[in-house]
Amino acid sequence: MAFHHIQYYFIVLLMATFLTTHSNAELTPDFYNDVCPQALSIINTIVRQKLDFKPRMGAHLLRLHFHDCFVNGCDGSVLLDDTPNFIGEKTAKGNIDSLKGFMLVDIIKAELDKACKGPVVSCADILAVIARDSVSILGGPSYWYQVLLGRRDARNASMKDAESYLPSQLFNLSQLVSNFESQGLNLKDLVALSGAHTIGMAKCSTFRERIYNDTNIDPDFATCLQDNCPLHGGDDNFEALDFLTPQVFDNSYYKNLVSKIGLFHSDQELFKGDGSESDMLVELYSRDSDAFARDFKASMIKMGNIKPLTGNFGEIRTYCGKVN
């Protein structure tokens, strides 16, 4: 009897060891070097071609990776269409009619599968690479970093999880901090990653409350934006997230915050002029673009490491929009 217990114990121990080693498999920059050495250059070529005539696409692609990682890890779940088994993240509040770039992801995936003779590059990894490519194409070589690879794709997704894990632009600083902390990201990551709002656009419905009700805002800026974002109607009218250089990935987002012209309530929460730790980081990044580039890249790698599926978990999808 005792002997059987010991045998049983060993089998459980072996399984546990197997599971942990596999789930903890580390991402590596050279994951596709043997199986598809041309993968990264194929992705870069397509992203570059697209951004050359549509820079806004870079903002779409960067945001896709963020929304993927914050909902049960960087597992490509954000790309899944609804099925009879689950309602996915695409239709979640905050994503619906807002997240874009899915078609380009599908095009990249098809080109990769053709070149690699089969589905070897995961959709989750594609999102990580196109985010990096977008940032470095729109920002220049100082924003280039090595992307860690080897993520696999989820077989399900949850609208409910997207709605509970993605931060809202109405959040205050402590809500933002705890939202990021629940992902293993600290205040510095929060401030650095928010610098992504140096590119892209937002709808009137997302910043209306700020330009009519916030006090921590430059009053001329508020009045100016009210033209294109009336109290009633015009919900889908767009404004640039970075008023100064909307199509360049740079540190001007932080200059805006210091001038109280951040677009979202959540953006301006990072700088209130009260000398807090968050204020100091915003000030640092506003005057030192190298410090911003360094910290942004480090935090992107950290975000890209949120709960990846590795080893035998998940799958390599054939189509990014549906499970195999």
> Per rule CB under 6 A, is residue 100 in the interface with ligand HEM?
yes
Q: Give the total of residues touching ligand HEM (CB under 6 A).
A: 25
User: CA 286 from chain center: how many Å?
Assistant: 22
- CB of 144 or CB of 171, closer to ligand HEM: 171
Out of 60, 65, 67, 265, which one is annotated catalytic?
67
Q: Where are the alpha helices (DSSP H) in the chain?
A: 2-23, 39-53, 56-69, 102-115, 123-139, 159-165, 173-181, 187-194, 204-213, 219-226, 252-258, 265-269, 277-287, 289-304
- Output the smallest distance, CB 269 to ligand NAG, in A: 9
Round to whole Å and give the CA distance between 151 and 141.
25
Q: Contact letters (x/-) for ligand NAG, 62-101, by CB under 6 A?
A: ----------x-----------------------------
| Tally of CB atoms within 10 A around 182 | 10
318 is an annotated ligand-binding site residue: no
Residue 67 bears catalytic tag: yes
Beta bridge partners, 201, equal 240
> Per rule CB under 6 A, is residue 175 in the interface with ligand NAG?
yes
Round to whole Å and give the CA distance between 272 and 159.
33
- Token pair in block for residue 242: 């970075």
> Per rule CB under 6 A, is residue 281 in the interface with ligand HEM?
no
Are residues 42 and 111 in contact, defined by beta-carbon separation less than 8 angstroms? yes
- Output the smallest distance, CB 281 to ligand NAG, in A: 18
Are residues 187 and 98 in contact, defined by beta-carbon separation less than 8 angstroms? no
260 contact, one of ligand NAG, ligand HEM, none, CB 5-8 Å limit per kind: none
Please select the residue that binds ligand HEM; options are 66, 165, 221, 243, rule is CB under 6 A: 66
- Output the smallest distance, CB 10 to ligand NAG, in A: 26
Round to whole Å and give the CA distance between 236 and 229.
9
Residues forming contacts to ligand NAG in the complex (CB under 6 A) are 72, 156, 158, 161, 172, 174-175, 208-209, 212-213, 231
- Among all residues, which ones are annotated catalytic? 67
Residues forming contacts to ligand HEM in the complex (CB under 6 A) are 56, 59-60, 62-63, 66, 98, 100, 167-169, 171, 176, 193-194, 196-197, 199-203, 206, 241, 266
